[in-house]
Amino acid sequence: MTFQALPNPSLRSEHRPCTGLCLAAITAAMALLFLAWEAAGGDLRLAASAGSGSGFVLRDHWFMSAVMHQGARLLAWSLALVLITSVWWPVGPMRCLSKGRRVQLAGGVLLSVLVVSLLKSVNPAPCPWDLSEFGGQAQAVSHWQWWFTPPGGRGRCFPAGHASAGFAFVGGYFVFRHSAPALARRWLLVSLAAGLLLGLTQQWRGAHFMSHTLWSGWVCWCLAWALDALRAGWPAQRGVQA
pLDDT in tens, 11-20: 444 466 788 8
Note the pLDDT of residue 2.
Answer: 40
Distance CA 51, CA 7 (A): 49
Calculate mean pLDDT across residues 142-167: 94
DSSP category for residue 68: I
36-40, 87-91, 182-186, 238-242: least confident range:
238-242
Name residues whose C-beta falls within 8 Å of residue 40's C-beta, 6 or more positions apart in sequence.
none
- Identify the CA nearest to 41 among candidates 159, 209, 154: 209
Alpha-carbon span 87 to 68, nearest angstrom: 28
Distances (CA, A) of 222 to 43, 95, 218, 229: 23, 26, 6, 10
To the nearest whole number, what is the mean pLDDT of the chain?
A: 90
Reduced to 3 states (helix: H, G, I; strand: E, B; else coil), residue 131 is strand
Higher pLDDT, residue 210 or 239: 210
Lowest mean pLDDT among 46-50, 152-156, 186-190, 235-239: 235-239
What confidence tens digit (pLDDT) does each residue in 147-158 have?
998 888 899 999
